[in-house]
Structure formats: C-alpha cells, structure tokens
Amino acid sequence: MIDLRSDTVTKPSEQMRAVMAAAPVGDDVYGEDPTINSLEERVSALFGKEAGLFAPSGSLANQLSIRMLVNPGEELLTETNSHIVRAELGAGAVFSGITTRTWLAPRGLLNAQDPLAIAKPDSGPYLVSTTAIAVENTHNFGGGTVQSIEEIKKLHSETQKLGIALHLDGARIWNAHVASGVDFKEYGKYFETISVCLSKGLGAPVGSLMLSNKDRVTKARQWRKRYGAGMRQAGILAAAGHFALDNNINRLSEDHKLAKSIASAVFAVAPNVVDPKTVDTNIVGLDLTGLSIKASDLAAQLKENGILASALGPTYLRLVTHMDVTAEDIEKVNQILPELLQRSFVA
C-alpha cells in the first residue's frame, strides 16, 4: 500500500532505531533522563525559548500550552478549522475549563484583523475575556498552508497592546520553515508558547515538545504528570527526535515537490478540485464539491488500487506525502487518481 493518509504513518529507519537503542536513559519524572534533557534544551534553543517539555503527542503539547495561557472560564481564539478545536476532542474545555471562539479563514490563512476583530480582552465580571489566540502553522485542514510572517508580526504587535498571549501550534512548523525560509527563532519571537511535533514529517515514531519560558514549563511539567503523561526511561524516544532533527529537516522539500506533483496531475483533469499554486507543503486537499463522487467513495476506489487517502468530510479528500513514499509511488498515484476522477465525470 502507498499510504498517503498522513505523515504520522512513517516508520523509524534502521539508523534511527540504532540511535534509539544506544540512547543513555534515566527517570524523566525525576528529571534524570539525559537524552530527554538534551532534546528539550536543543529544541527550546532552536526557537529562542528558555525551556522545553517533552510530550508523547502534539495534542498534549498544545493542551499544556493553552493551559498555561488561559485560566478556566477564559477564552481562547483560533481559526474555525484549526487542530486545537477540530481534532483534540474538546480537550481544552474538558481538562482546563477553556472556552473558545473561532474565526473562519479561507484555507486557514491568517489575516491578523480577523482574530483582532473578535477579541474581547478584560471584559469585566459578566462577560468572557479573551486571554490567548492560537495560530496553526502549517494549517492542516487548510491544506498545509504556510502562515505569513508579516501577518504574525501584525497580530503580535496588536496583542501585545491588548495583553493577549499567542500560542503557535507548530506541529508542522518544520515544513513551514523549509517552504518559507523563515528562521525558527523568528517564529519564536512572536509566541508565548509553541508546540512542535517530531512524529510527522521528521519521521520520529513518538514525540512532541511544548516550548515557553522556564516558569510556564515548570508548571506544565506538573500538569503533564497530572494528565498521566509522566514518562520514565523515555530517552529512547527522545533519541529518535535528535536523529530526526539531525537528518530529516532539509529533506522535507522532497515531500513538498511530490505533493505539488499530485496537485498538478489532478489539476490537469479536474481544475476545480485543487490548484497546485495553493499547495505549499506536503498536504494536498481535494475539494470534490460539484463532482458526482463522495470523498469516502474515492478513498475506497484508491484503496482498491493500493493507495490510502483520508476522507475528512463528504467532499474533502486529503493526501499527505512523507519520507516513506517514493517518487515511483507518486508516479503511480498520478496515474490512478486522475483516472478515477475522470471516471466520476461520466458515472
């Protein structure tokens, strides 16, 4: 099977496994795992932050971050289709008593005026106060779109005046960096908290980090334990993260090229389904609105032909390139997918 459901399906290479097996470890709950400690220091320094906290998932890194910025009964703003409000099962409300409001943006792209227009800080004793805004980069359900650093700067400038904190859901910030050339420290300047994933395009089997100042990370460490995510000799997982950072950032451009080639092949037969110009990174979102085929049916037909894709709605099919698919695999996809779409036109 050519698995394009997500870049989370990658498997650790033999070289990565060897590094994991050789990793020095200790009890991380006691702060004694040297490989985790060095990874936390490395990634926090990469983004210009004081401290980092290793977590088993990006969702937990997000939840720990917003917990540090928003008190129970206060408000987080984020884009309507962002991961925090669409794919974390209401965790902010369940675990932290956080209420959310959203703004809708085409392809999830940030326009600083959108959240600023609905932000309500310091609303007094009778209304909910906005205390943080979350930005996702790249934006998953927007099709892997890269947020403009200029819009981030504008948002930061205004929120500083309002006393509103910013969180970066940087699960795929590595892809944004490669596609835009914006330095990690530049991104880090504008956000009080950041989450990053090592288990997507970078190919580690498990692992994310929450980044912030020392005080927030110290508090988040307690909450990680409270949520049941304290880990012991987990340096074997952190070692995979080190290997991923050493070897797998620059190669993300290959994934981006393959994703754009899929979009181009589809565009040639169905130009209303996807525009290759909007495919910035490794995610291809197909909008099947107006076609006679549902996303679930197209996914089933692709599976019959040895290709896995994700139907994320009645008319939305997502394909994600990653290190475990080859150029030859994508050549096959670029033959079969357009053929199936053309069949749907005459069905």
Task: Determine the 3-state secondary structure of 235 from DSSP.
Answer: helix
Which residues of the chain does CATH 3.90.1150.10 include?
Answer: 252-346
What is the token pair recorded at 98? 């956080």
What is the token pair recorded at 106? 């085409």
Cβ–Cβ < 8 Å for 347, 292 = yes
Task: Determine the 3-state secondary structure of 154 from DSSP.
Answer: helix
Distance in angstroms (rounded) separating the CA atoms of residues 163 and 155: 12
Cβ–Cβ < 8 Å for 142, 108 = yes
Angle (deg, nearest 10), helices 327-346 and 295-304: 130
Distance in angstroms (rounded) separating the CA atoms of residues 232 and 229: 10
Which residues of the chain does CATH 3.40.640.10 include?
Answer: 11-247
Distance in angstroms (rounded) separating the CA atoms of residues 176 and 74: 30
Cβ–Cβ < 8 Å for 76, 92 = yes
| Of residues 336, 330, 339, the one with CA closest to residue 269 | 339
Distance in angstroms (rounded) separating the CA atoms of residues 194 and 217: 11
Neighbours of 338 (CB within 10 A): 18
According to DSSP, residue 129 is labeled P
pLDDT values of the chain reduced to their tens digit, one per residue, 347 residues: 999 999 999 999 999 999 999 999 999 999 999 999 999 999 999 999 999 999 999 999 999 999 999 999 999 999 999 999 999 999 999 999 999 999 999 999 999 999 999 999 999 999 999 999 999 999 999 999 999 999 999 999 999 999 999 999 999 999 999 999 999 999 999 999 999 999 999 999 999 999 999 999 999 999 999 999 999 999 999 999 999 999 999 999 999 999 999 999 999 999 999 999 999 999 999 999 989 899 999 999 999 999 999 999 999 999 999 999 999 999 999 999 999 999 887 55
**What are the pLDDT digits (tens) for 127-158?**
999 999 999 999 999 999 999 999 999 999 99
| Separation of first and last alpha carbons in the chain | 26
Backbone angles phi, psi at 12, to 5 degrees: -65, 140
Cβ–Cβ < 8 Å for 280, 144 = yes
Q: Ramachandran region of residue 155, left (φ > 0), alpha (ψ -120 to 50) or beta?
A: alpha
Kindly tell me the sign of the dihedral angle through the C-alpha atoms of 89, 92, 94, 98.
Answer: negative
Q: Give per-residue burial for 221-250: e unless 16+ CB within 10 Å, then b.
A: bebbeeeebebebbbbbbbbbbbbbebbbe
Q: Residues near 128 by Cβ (< 8 Å), separated by ≥ 6?
A: 73, 74, 75, 99, 120
| CATH of region 252-346 | 3.90.1150.10
Q: Tell me, what's the pLDDT at 290?
A: 86
Max alpha carbon distance in the chain (Å)?
A: 64
Q: Tokens 């990053």 correspond to what residue?
A: 196
**Architecture of the domain made up of 11-247:** 3-Layer(aba) Sandwich (3.40)
**What are the pLDDT digits (tens) for 5-56?**
999 999 999 999 999 999 999 999 999 999 999 999 999 999 999 999 999 9
DSSP H/E element including 64:
helix 58-69
At residue 151's C-alpha, the angle toward residues 149 and 152, to 5°, is 60
